[in-house]
Amino acid sequence: MNQTDTIAAIATAAGNSGIGIVRVSGEEAISVVSRIFRPGKPDGRRDHEIKENVLLTAESHTIHYGFLFDGDEPIDEVLVMVMRKPKSFTAEDTVEIDCHGGMLVTRRILEAVLKAGARLAEPGEFTKRAFLNGRIDLSQAEAVIDLINAKNDYALKSSVGQLRGSLSKKIRNLRERILYEIAYIESALDDPEHISLEGYPERLLKTICGMEKELSDLIRSSKNGRVVAEGIKTVIIGKPNAGKSSLMNVLVGDERAIVTDIAGTTRDILEERISLEGISLNIVDTAGIHNTEDKVEQIGVSRALEAASGADLIIYVVDASISLDENDFRIMEFIKDKKAVVLLNKSDLEQTVSPDEIFRLSGHRAISVSAKEETGIDELEKRIRSMFYDGEIDFNDQILITSVRHANALREAHESILMVRDSIENGMPEDFFSIDLMNAYEKLGLIIGESVEDDLVNEIFSRFCMGK
């Protein structure tokens, strides 16, 4: 791809809004926009030379008022921001046109920019250019799309931290220390008369143990990171009429599920995304699990069990006002070895099922709730948070690994570091250390994009929207 040509795209979401932005970047960005921009009012009497050169001679990071034209026809009243390289997001000359929001006007302005000499940007191409021009590294570029897609406060804070370079700094620091050891070993092997390796394995072992702990901490954070980025896949199960759909409506905050006194109202799965204390739950309400001769209900029960089998969390709702039966025993046997929360619903009625009985049969401690009265939900939120997060999350200094790609690279680097430790403990020659250290160095480089294939770069940026 020619990285000096001029690209353009609409940077704001489609639809009517207060403002729209068309972004232009590349070697001819300022010239392209100057061909269709006239400062001041469209009928104002201005010197022709000023009209032609006001943007061409403009200082960086200045804003200019005027109108954009398609030929002799004015399109819209605009503000044009000029950002000269390298002090722009892409590190290229960049122009942003702020116009009135609306699909028609922004599209007309984009068409005029393309006629003036730009080409339509590919998805993510602005951010890709920022990466290729050294403005940001690959982990920061990925943080941009994570920031856009953030579904909760934790995901937002994590993305902002990585965009500011928290992960990049950590990875670069690890790579610098690894590279120092590689250079020391190679220098000693090439010049043994002046550089001694005596006692070096013992010193390297201490360094390696420190790196191994740092990598382990980062890998461990990927558990929290996945939950932050993707949400917890949560399935609500229970017998018919236990209050599953009522609970779903309470959690969602809307009457999304049909609630009646008739058992078996829910016959298929219903999915919603909700947020509890900053945690996203991808929550699924299922058909009541019970023995039935109805073929449609049998399909619903089968789907409920299938969804629960692949869930991160199961919420088992028990009608605590009636005695347990064989359907309850079946469900409790199913959730014994799974991450689950048991809710004793209908706590506003006389209770016939106790928390001790639930714990004895399922191994899970129950929470008393009333979906009708909306009580006990706070305790449910706290329980879920404690189940999925290792301690408090402090985004001031903690790094969460939210990318599967990053986690895999860290695991491979960790394995190489462990191999160095094994080689030291087994008394292997120093050149063995160097080989595994170099492999760890390269795997960490994949995270920040210092050793990455073009196909992977293209795949990452293809997930971006057109104007980003």
CA distance 398 to 246: 38
Assign 29 a pLDDT band (cuts: 50, 70, 90).
very high
**Residue-wise burial string across 384-422, b where 16 or more C-beta atoms lie within 10 A, e elsewhere:** bbeebbeeebeeeebbbbbbebbbebbebbbebbbbbbe
CA distance 60 to 179: 39
pLDDT at position 51 is 54
pLDDT at position 263 is 42
Cβ–Cβ < 8 Å for 405, 443: no
260 pLDDT higher than 50: no
pLDDT at position 255 is 47
CA distance 255 to 261: 15
pLDDT at position 77 is 93
CA distance 329 to 342: 13
Please write the tens of the pLDDT for every residue from 356-372: 988 988 888 989 988 88
251 pLDDT higher than 70: yes
- Closest listed residue to residue 271, CA positions, set 261, 280, 263, 279: 280
- Closest listed residue to residue 237, CA positions, set 148, 151, 364: 364
Mean pLDDT of 108-132: 92
pLDDT at position 278 is 65
CATH classification of 143-226+398-461, choosing from 3.40.605.10, 1.20.120.430, 3.40.50.1000, 3.20.20.140? 1.20.120.430
Q: What is the dihedral of CA 382, 387, 392, 396, to 10 degrees?
A: -110
44 pLDDT higher than 80: no
Domain 7-137 has CATH 3.40.50.300: no
**Boundaries of every domain in the chain:** 7-137, 143-226+398-461, 230-388
pLDDT at position 16 is 77
pLDDT at position 453 is 67
Mean pLDDT of 169-177: 93
Please write the tens of the pLDDT for every residue from 304-339: 777 788 888 888 888 888 888 888 888 888 888 888
Please write the tens of the pLDDT for every residue from 188-211: 888 888 888 888 999 999 999 999
392 pLDDT higher than 80: no
CATH classification of 230-388, choosing from 2.60.120.620, 3.40.50.300, 3.40.1280.10, 3.60.20.10? 3.40.50.300
DSSP string over 187-236: HHHH-TTTS--TTHHHHHHHHHHHHHHHHHHHHHHHHHHHHHHH-EEEEE
pLDDT at position 440 is 94
Cβ–Cβ < 8 Å for 342, 368: no
Mean pLDDT of 231-257: 76
Query: What is the DSSP code (8-state) at residue 5?
Result: S
